Structure 1
């Protein structure tokens, strides 16, 4: 399990991550305080992970027998982002099990090395029909192992 950085510890940096998903913030991502609302970061994480799983792991979200359910998530915030910023979500795998994976993610402003936020979430892969955990398919496992 990854320890969270204390305020005096080093922030997560770009070179700590294996894959990056570019995202353009949207007008409605901002809240009344003028920055991206905290809940939107979870959407960024979900988008980065699922794009990777579809493109690199062959996950069929519409008709596949196996789907991933988020069972745990968290995020720590270090600096604000706001529309119209271009960001990149750093992705790596912290722990890979038989039917589950813990992702570790970070939000970076394009071209910057220090993370604005860092989060994690756990997917459990289940049979779509029964919602029961299953061993993840080999193509998914291989794609996730490359992020470890």
Structure 2
């Protein structure tokens, strides 16, 4: 069975990231767990810069409740990469992000993953509706899958 294609054109926003020396493992490539850090950094940079998320004082925070990643090609320090971001599902209090890691200027992803944020009240840790500013930032990233 062949892997699905994850092309640059499938994603709505790109976050540049520079790999770091300590990202490499003993096999000479970026360790698999590091991709989750790239995903988290790309999403949170977008939420802070575009959606106005206040990670220090805001009443609402996003908790990751699910994540996964598939790997297609390795990357290594000192490569420059971009994390493509789109929204696969936007619910009342949750959002499913779909992400892909691309080497600079390459069309095919090296890895693709997803994770789900549930937005909660900072004090009670109970789910709350996604705030209007965040929802407005997430809506343009939505993709509609054709079945």
Correspondence for 2:17: 23
1:87-109: CA deviations, max 9, x gaps? 00000000000100000000000
SS in 2 for 1:12: coil
Q: Which runs of 4+ in 1 moved over 2 A?
A: none
Q: CA deviation at 1:10?
A: 4.0
SS in 2 for 1:146: helix
**How does the TM-score come out when normalised to structure 1?**
0.95
Q: CA deviation at 1:81?
A: 0.1
Is 1:40 the counterpart of 2:34? The answer is yes
Question: Residue 63 of structure 1 is aligned with which of 53, 57, 65?
Answer: 57
Is 1:52 the counterpart of 2:46? The answer is yes
CA RMSD of aligned residues (A): 0.7
Q: CA deviation at 1:11?
A: 1.8
Using the alignment, how far apart are the partners of 1:96 and 1:57 within structure 2? 14
Structure 2 segments unaligned to the other structure (5+ residues): 143-147
Using the alignment, how far apart are the partners of 1:123 and 1:23 within structure 2? 21
Is 1:121 the counterpart of 2:115? The answer is yes
Using the alignment, how far apart are the partners of 2:104 and 2:131 within structure 1? 33
Question: Residue 92 of structure 2 is aligned with which of 81, 94, 98?
Answer: 98
Is 1:73 the counterpart of 2:67? The answer is yes
**Aligned length, in residue pairs:** 142
